[in-house]
């Protein structure tokens, strides 16, 4: 079976004795979680995310800090396979659900550049042309019904490094992700053929797994499409060399991805819905993509965008603001 970890923390209490008692109980919950991870590593083949749970609870944040920071988000959701824990006096809640068996394919596009700059018309609009081609490709994939869902995300800033990102959700029980990747790659080469468009751009396609998610209930792990027309995204992209994506590096993902900063300081008016960390599964260098979804982002764009300078000041990765242009 497939399980989600739901961490529910105590509400604030008045007396110091109750606060101390709550802290002890939550510490006990952490010990139970670590025990589950030990059992997992010894008895299960799939231990991909064990270190995230262990280090996040035991090392990254102290118990009082976790209480204060996750009180607003209500839950911490982590995709992981676990044996069903026995019921007991713990605040580690295990929600049993069916394994969604999902995989995500991301298509990153750089701005199109003319093959012959001297002959380019001053009236040319390469960004509009690229958007049209990307939308047509998304429509083709939706018509083929090889992907469960798909979104075309367009950057809201000028001179963006990745003006468009296509996001596809694949059901591995119905479609082979490798076949989908190859077919989409071939379709992209045809759709963005420089001989027809007279423009060229760099295209990065890769398959990803969702390795960690912070989310608000209600939970629907199979659906990624926006729930409102005002939904927007803060997306950060990181690339590391092969072999550098070890436990020592990934245990601090909340910090170097900016996820901790987002769920602590993003204004409530933005309507934070979920923060998901994706990791590429292909061999070679690894790509991490952090997707922060806000249901009221477009209505509170100025307030939400205040975090961008702080995220970019770390001089780590790429961060941009996106909204949905097309979907199926």
- CATH number, domain of 245, equals 3.30.70
CA atoms of 290 and 284, how far apart (whole Å): 19
CB 228 within 8 A of CB 327: no
Please report the pLDDT score of residue 306 as a whole number: 84
Which residues contact residue 69 at a Cβ distance below 8 angstroms, ignoring those fewer than 6 apart?
A: 61, 260, 263, 264
CB 160 within 8 A of CB 323: no
Give the global pTM.
Answer: 0.72
Please report the pLDDT score of residue 224 as a whole number: 86
Q: 33 with 118, same domain?
A: no
CA atoms of 296 and 231, how far apart (whole Å): 6
CA atoms of 15 and 191, how far apart (whole Å): 65
The answer on pLDDT for 63 being more than 50 is: no
CB 40 within 8 A of CB 137: no
Choosing from 53, 82, 97, the residue where a domain stops is 97
Which residues contact residue 299 at a Cβ distance below 8 angstroms, ignoring those fewer than 6 apart?
A: 230, 269
The answer on pLDDT for 228 being more than 50 is: yes
Percent share of the chain, pLDDT over 90: 49
| Omega within 30 of 0 (cis) for the link into 116 | no
CA atoms of 229 and 181, how far apart (whole Å): 29
Please report, to the nearest 10 degrees, the dihedral formed by the alpha carbons of residues 167, 158, 253, 41 taken in order.
10
Q: 196 with 225, same domain?
A: yes
Mean pLDDT of 27-55: 34
Backbone φ, ψ for residue 57 (5° rounding): -80, -40
Domain count, the chain: 2
The pLDDT mean for the chain works out to 75
Q: 156 with 276, same domain?
A: yes
Q: Angle at the Cα of 68 (from 62 to 74), degrees rounded to 5?
A: 110
Choosing from 76, 97, 118, the residue where a domain stops is 97
Please report, to the nearest 10 degrees, the dihedral formed by the alpha carbons of residues 257, 258, 262, 263 taken in order.
70
Query: For the purposes of burial, counting CB atoms within 10 Å of the CB of 173, is it exposed (0-12), middle (13-18) or buried (19 or more)?
Result: exposed
Predicted confidence (pLDDT) per residue in 275-307, tens digit: 999 999 998 999 999 999 999 999 988 877 888
What b/e sequence results for 205-230 when a residue is b if at least 16 CB atoms lie within 10 Å of its CB, and e otherwise?
bbbbebbbbbbbeebebeebebeeeb
Q: 234 with 315, same domain?
A: yes
Q: 291 with 185, same domain?
A: yes
Please give the structure tokens belonging to residue 59. 């090392």
Q: 282 with 204, same domain?
A: yes
Q: 167 with 240, same domain?
A: yes
Please report the pLDDT score of residue 247 as a whole number: 84
Q: 37 with 114, same domain?
A: no
Q: 81 with 116, same domain?
A: no
Q: 285 with 193, same domain?
A: yes
CB 55 within 8 A of CB 78: no
Q: 269 with 175, same domain?
A: yes
Mean pLDDT of 91-110: 71
CA atoms of 215 and 205, how far apart (whole Å): 26
Please report the pLDDT score of residue 112 as a whole number: 96
Which residue range forms the structural domain that includes residue 30?
A: 2-97
Q: 93 with 135, same domain?
A: no
Choosing from 97, 116, 148, the residue where a domain stops is 97
């Amino acid at each position: 079976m497939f399980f989600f970890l739901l961490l529910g923390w105590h509400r604030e209490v008045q007396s110091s004795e109750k606060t101390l008692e709550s802290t002890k109980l939550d510490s006990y919950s952490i010990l139970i979680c670590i025990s589950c991870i030990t059992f997992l590593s010894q008895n299960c083949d799939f231990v991909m995310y064990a270190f995230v749970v262990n280090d996040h609870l035991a090392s990254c944040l102290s118990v009082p800090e976790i209480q204060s920071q996750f009180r607003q988000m209500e839950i911490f959701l982590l995709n992981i396979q676990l044996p069903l824990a026995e019921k007991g006096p713990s605040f580690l809640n295990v929600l049993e659900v069916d394994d969604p068996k999902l995989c995500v394919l991301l298509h990153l596009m750089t701005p199109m550049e003319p093959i012959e700059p001297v002959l380019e018309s001053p009236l040319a609009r390469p960004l509009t042309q690229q958007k049209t081609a990307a939308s047509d490709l998304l429509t083709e994939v939706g018509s083929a019904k090889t992907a469960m869902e798909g979104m075309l995300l367009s950057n809201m800033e000028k001179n963006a490094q990745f003006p468009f990102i296509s996001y596809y959700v694949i059901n591995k029980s119905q479609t082979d992700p490798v076949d989908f990747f190859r077919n989409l790659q071939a379709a992209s080469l045809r759709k963005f053929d420089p001989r027809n468009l007279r423009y060229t751009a760099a295209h990065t396609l890769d398959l990803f797994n969702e390795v960690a998610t912070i989310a608000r209930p209600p939970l629907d792990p199979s659906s990624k499409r926006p729930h409102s027309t005002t939904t927007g995204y803060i997306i950060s992209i990181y690339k590391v060399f092969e072999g550098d994506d070890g436990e020592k590096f990934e245990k601090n993902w909340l910090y170097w991805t900016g996820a901790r900063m987002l769920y602590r300081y993003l204004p409530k008016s933005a309507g934070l819905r979920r923060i998901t960390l994706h990791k590429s599964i292909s061999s070679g260098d690894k790509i991490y993509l952090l997707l922060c979804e806000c249901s009221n982002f477009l209505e509170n764009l100025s307030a939400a965008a205040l975090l961008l300078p702080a995220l970019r000041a770390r001089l780590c990765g790429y961060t941009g603001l996106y909204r949905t242009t097309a979907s199926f």
